[in-house]
């Protein structure tokens, strides 16, 4: 799903690039690939309502986005992490004063087969599983069955959250299976009683069972009050207090309409 949007986004961006001469307003957005699908979806809707504004979006990663914010080559930088102190100082040295906007939340939940008796898991157990140290369900109080660990491709935003919040930057062991989308993980886990995987909360359905982490169930509420451990806010940064088209776009982003699109993309909206 995200992938298809990505392709659509590239095409749209290309079209916009070639025809941008005719438009009045122009907004350049760069940065995180996690925020990319949200930015694209909202930008499409925004441009439909404001045909005189052209938005071009590229996703080179959070670091890249903030770098172009510092260099003033972008109007908005998408980021899946808060700006670092050094980065903000660099920006100030170059005469801009980055302003932070939280546009959505990411919440990643571990899932298992519906027949699995387990209800809760700790962060340490998850980490040990994904490092290949725990290999049987009985080690954490389940049946005597091997654990089949399913992970995402390493360049996805979902993997990024997992790596940061669960793995604490350690590597997932090579034996972990790989699936290329949230949907594929749901599919694979629902067909395998031994499996564990992780997905964005928006992709959760009845075919699989969600585990709570450290006793906290992943939900909109626990994400927004920051008690669920595998969640994070997603940001957009502007080089100064935004005005004009950029302000209009950011307002649209956090408006009801914009947040509805955020939810459709499988992220947690702000309200």
Q: Which is nearer to another protein, 32 or 259 (CB)?
A: 32
With CB under 8 A as the contact rule, the residue among 154, 244, 247, 255 that binds another protein is 154
Task: Please select the residue that binds another protein; options are 131, 187, 214, 227, rule is CB under 8 A.
Answer: 187
Is 54 a binder of another protein (CB under 8 A)? no
Give the chain as a DSSP string. -HHHHHHHHHHHHHHHHHHGGG-SEEEEEEE-TTTHHHHHHHHHHHHHH-TTEEEEEE---HHHHHHHHHTT--SEEEESSPPPHHHHHHHHHTT---EEEEEEEEEEEEEEETT----EE-HHHHHHHHTTS--BGGGGTS-S-B-EEEEE-TTSHHHHHHHHHTSTTPPPPTTSEEESSHHHHHHHHHT-TTEEEEEEGGG--TTEEEPEETTB--SHHHHHTT-SSSEEEEEEEESSS--HHHHHHHHHHHSHHHHHHHHHTT-B---
- Which residue lies nearer to another protein by CB, 92 or 171? 171
24 versus 177: smaller Cβ distance to another protein? 177
**Given candidates 60, 142, 202, 229, which one binds another protein under the rule CB under 8 A?**
60
For residue 182, state whether it binds another protein (rule: CB under 8 A). no
When binding is defined by CB under 8 A, the residue of 74, 80, 90, 156 that contacts another protein is: 156
User: Does the footprint of another protein cover residue 217 (CB under 8 A)?
Assistant: no
Contact segment (CB under 8 A) with another protein among 174-182, 199-207, 243-251, 253-261 equals 174-182
Regarding 266 and contact with another protein (CB under 8 A), the answer is no
64 near another protein, rule: CB under 8 A: yes
Site residues (vs another protein, CB under 8 A): 3, 6-7, 33, 58-61, 64, 145-148, 153-157, 159, 163, 169, 171, 174-180, 184, 187-188, 191-195
């Amino acid at each position: 799903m995200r992938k298809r949007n990505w392709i659509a986004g590239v095409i749209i961006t290309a079209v916009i690039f070639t025809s941008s001469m005719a438009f009045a307003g122009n907004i350049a957005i760069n940065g995180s690939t996690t925020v990319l699908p949200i930015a694209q979806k909202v930008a499409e809707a925004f441009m439909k309502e404001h045909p005189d504004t052209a938005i071009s979006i590229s996703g080179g990663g959070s670091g890249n986005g903030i770098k172009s914010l510092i260099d003033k080559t972008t109007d908005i930088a998408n980021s899946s992490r808060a700006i670092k102190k050094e980065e903000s100082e660099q920006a100030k040295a170059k005469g801009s004063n980055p302003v932070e906007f939280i546009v959505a939340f990411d919440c990643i939940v571990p899932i298992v087969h519906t027949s699995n008796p387990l209800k809760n898991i700790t962060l340490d157990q998850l980490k040990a599983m994904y490092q290949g140290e725990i290999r049987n369900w009985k080690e954490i109080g389940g049946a005597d069955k091997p654990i089949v660990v399913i992970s995402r491709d390493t360049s996805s935003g979902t993997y990024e959250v997992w790596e940061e919040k669960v793995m604490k930057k350690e590597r997932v062991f090579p034996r972990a299976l790989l699936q290329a989308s949230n949907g594929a993980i749901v599919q694979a886990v629902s067909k395998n009683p031994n499996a564990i995987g992780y997905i964005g909360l928006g992709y959760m359905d009845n075919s699989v069972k969600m585990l709570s982490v450290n006793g906290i169930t992943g939900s909109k509420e626990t994400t927004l009050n920051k008690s669920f451990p595998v969640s994070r806010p997603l940001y957009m940064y502007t080089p100064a207090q935004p005005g004009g088209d950029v302000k209009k776009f950011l307002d649209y982003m956090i408006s009801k309409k914009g947040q509805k699109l955020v939810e459709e993309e499988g992220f947690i909206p702000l309200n």
